[in-house]
Structure 1
């Protein structure tokens, strides 16, 4: 309840944080906590009092820092074309200098390794900071396959497929299957088999119908199959290498990667392979957010993928608004009120949202703050001096100093005893 009576007095009992949707020309009547129309570089403590924020300290100066991600007790991040790691003691090492200099860097930890993509390539980085491309590139072209005499392969129509083998023994998918007919007993000649980056050998499979069996492993570009030995069955037909993307999470035993308006998912526990026939979901707009609980946003809508197996996932539209290009933070739900389990927090186009395990979403700031619409945003959670803080940053294109890594952030939402206090909404 507000009043414009200049003779009204009230007893101050604390600050409520920013509220730019309340009348700015009035003061509350009676007793109560005070809404703020602006609060720059201040926090609200557990007693509803204001105190000055501590500021920040530069811990690393770079050229275009982005995608800070915890890894091995430190931070993995991109700096220009370089992928770097800063240890807990402040030591900075360069992993490689192969990144595209765009804002589309994404990372996800998978079984102790960090998978990194710049939208054009995708790598996996080990704890010792050694790296390799994720998966094995399949053959880029079909081999030449022809019938020949001089063997014991029975007359018939055969299918031939080739896969690539890396130095670690990992096998690629087989995107091509070539048909050849033997009109008499003879052999099958396979030639002009291409090489791919990182491959050292090739597996050649031959079969009839749906089943192809390993018949040869070679390092050269050609081989003659003069008899059928019937090795192990081909497991990776129609599989290709998992594509790079701009958003990535590891969940449900798979790697989910967003590239434009397509959400790809890897084979189960085989993160470098993807089924190019069915391993994707198409959205009406480019994907701007992807979380481990499979909340997925575009600029216009926010969705949730319900289910465990991608073949049984159900896509549900939860909100009629979306997000800027952003990444969510995972938080213990009890820190943000009565929500149980782990939740995810992100900055949407209409404020800070919390997504729960059951697919429900709550916007915790829309009733108090009309937040600007940003092109890019990021969210973290921390506990500072006993206060639970969701810290969100947003920017519009061209409005950022990205050359410095800071130990503090400046845009804060505080949860006090289940109530939401919004501090420092800075455009």
Structure 2
């Protein structure tokens, strides 16, 4: 049995000849306590003999892939197929405040409540149909009409498509509207001069007719000018918005509308994004070049501040409690994050302050990991499994 009178930690930076008897180059299957004590790591208990990958803990259920299926596993053994053909690629998840979870592999994306899965976006209607005249009370003039698709299961509404101005004298009838299973079409009309978009009604069929008065048009369309939220990879939730990485661009959804985005709500990071981790007062974004601190409380006013910590390993960014992470001679506080930057394990705290937890002692050459933070018997542990 190997014993230590004192143990200073793992060190793979110094040459072996310069190490003391209190250093280790590597340590397998052990836990290292808060005062340097070494204990044997607990063994594993098999929960299932089926191969699971892309495991994620959601609110009351677990998501995983089995073969090409994405499934939700519930306490008690219930199993629901969320996506039957998502494939074998890595999946990125994000837990939403309402208990649902988004998922994406960069090509296929969706959102689930643990029972069923639907597309994260709602596609706009495929066509405008054909307008015709009808009886009604609208003032004579030029009008535009706008169509949106509304998913019946959750009420999510697509971006709007808009017509050219058409002459209306009384009412409007729309024919050959695109019918989509599980969706309705909301029809909006502009004012007499073609400006604005106000709800006239809804239909699940291929025709719609309306002949009300102008003063009946009061509920505005909220999705005019919106676009579907882009299919990205790394995903996080921040201040009611969903954030995602699309190459070197950080995109933000509309507040409380994870399926919609506006054309202006993205920020170029200068290099491919490898981590997104919000904390109080801003967002840490890892890239192939550096760990970036975006300071601010609103997306359009975030200030770009490089930390000079070096390239961030893909998948290494995770949330952690600040009071369990070393900062100077004490610990931090509030929400914090951990990642691998410049080969070192780096903690990021509220306000943009960062601290290397392994400086001059340990470096890794990993290029992609699956990471998590946990506590075992009061010992905080950062785990990063190479992929």
The TM-score, its normalising length taken from structure 2, stands at 0.84
Q: Displacement, 1:130? A: 3.5
- Asked whether the equivalents of residues 135 and 172 of structure 2 are also in contact (C-alpha less than 8 Å), the reply is no
**How far apart, in 1, do the equivalents of 2:365 and 2:78 lie?**
35
Task: Tell me the SS of whatever aligns to 1:358.
Answer: helix
Matched, 1:206 2:190: yes
What's the counterpart of residue 370 of structure 1? 363
Matched, 1:291 2:277: yes
What's the counterpart of residue 65 of structure 1? 53
Q: Displacement, 1:151? A: 5.5
Q: Displacement, 1:380? A: 2.0
**How far apart, in 1, do the equivalents of 2:267 and 2:364 lie?**
31
What's the counterpart of residue 406 of structure 1? none
Q: Displacement, 1:358? A: 1.1
- Asked whether the equivalents of residues 137 and 240 of structure 1 are also in contact (C-alpha less than 8 Å), the reply is no
Q: Displacement, 1:369? A: 1.5
Specify whether residues 266 and 303 from structure 1 end up closer, same or farther in structure 2 by C-alpha distance, changes over 3 A only.
same
Matched, 1:241 2:228: yes
**How far apart, in 1, do the equivalents of 2:169 and 2:42 lie?**
83
**How far apart, in 2, do the equivalents of 1:197 and 1:15 lie?**
65
Give a deviation string over 1:323-344, Cα, whole Å, max 9, x none.
2320533222222231111211
Specify whether residues 92 and 290 from structure 1 end up closer, same or farther in structure 2 by C-alpha distance, changes over 3 A only.
farther
Task: Tell me the SS of whatever aligns to 2:7.
Answer: strand
Regions of 4+ moved over 6 Å = none
Matched, 1:353 2:346: yes
What's the counterpart of residue 16 of structure 2? 24
- Asked whether the equivalents of residues 320 and 337 of structure 2 are also in contact (C-alpha less than 8 Å), the reply is yes
Matched, 1:254 2:246: no
Specify whether residues 222 and 285 from structure 1 end up closer, same or farther in structure 2 by C-alpha distance, changes over 3 A only.
farther
More strand by share: 1
What's the counterpart of residue 222 of structure 1? 207
Aligned CA RMSD, in angstroms, stands at 2.9
Q: Displacement, 1:169? A: 6.5
1:159 to 144, 155, 159: 144
Give a deviation string over 1:60-79, Cα, whole Å, max 9, x none.
3444611x222244532223
1:381 to 359, 365, 373: 373
Matched, 1:105 2:91: yes
Task: Tell me the SS of whatever aligns to 1:25.
Answer: helix
Matched, 1:343 2:336: yes
Matched, 1:80 2:67: yes
For these two proteins, the number of residue pairs brought into alignment is 374
Specify whether residues 393 and 203 from structure 1 end up closer, same or farther in structure 2 by C-alpha distance, changes over 3 A only.
same
- Asked whether the equivalents of residues 274 and 314 of structure 2 are also in contact (C-alpha less than 8 Å), the reply is yes
**How far apart, in 2, do the equivalents of 1:280 and 1:197 lie?**
32
Matched, 1:195 2:179: yes
What's the counterpart of residue 421 of structure 1? none
- Asked whether the equivalents of residues 227 and 261 of structure 2 are also in contact (C-alpha less than 8 Å), the reply is yes
**How far apart, in 2, do the equivalents of 1:353 and 1:133 lie?**
35
What's the counterpart of residue 157 of structure 2? 172
Specify whether residues 40 and 329 from structure 1 end up closer, same or farther in structure 2 by C-alpha distance, changes over 3 A only.
same
Task: Tell me the SS of whatever aligns to 2:300.
Answer: helix
- Asked whether the equivalents of residues 136 and 170 of structure 1 are also in contact (C-alpha less than 8 Å), the reply is no
Q: Displacement, 1:245? A: 2.3
Specify whether residues 198 and 323 from structure 1 end up closer, same or farther in structure 2 by C-alpha distance, changes over 3 A only.
farther
After alignment, is 340-349 or 131-140 more displaced? 131-140
Which ranges of structure 2 fall in alignment gaps of 5 or more residues? none
2:39 to 45, 51, 58: 51
Which ranges of structure 1 fall in alignment gaps of 5 or more residues? 1-11, 396-427
Specify whether residues 332 and 185 from structure 1 end up closer, same or farther in structure 2 by C-alpha distance, changes over 3 A only.
closer
- Asked whether the equivalents of residues 347 and 379 of structure 1 are also in contact (C-alpha less than 8 Å), the reply is no
**How far apart, in 1, do the equivalents of 2:172 and 2:293 lie?**
50
- Asked whether the equivalents of residues 142 and 194 of structure 2 are also in contact (C-alpha less than 8 Å), the reply is no
Give a deviation string over 1:158-216, Cα, whole Å, max 9, x none.
2221112232472523332222242x845544344323463134323333354222223
Q: Displacement, 1:101? A: 1.6
After alignment, is 350-359 or 190-199 more displaced? 190-199
Q: Displacement, 1:238? A: 1.4
Specify whether residues 227 and 254 from structure 1 end up closer, same or farther in structure 2 by C-alpha distance, changes over 3 A only.
same
Specify whether residues 69 and 327 from structure 1 end up closer, same or farther in structure 2 by C-alpha distance, changes over 3 A only.
farther
What's the counterpart of residue 295 of structure 2? 306
Q: Which has the larger radius of gyration?
A: 1
What's the counterpart of residue 333 of structure 1? 322
The TM-score, its normalising length taken from structure 1, stands at 0.77
Task: Tell me the SS of whatever aligns to 1:369.
Answer: coil
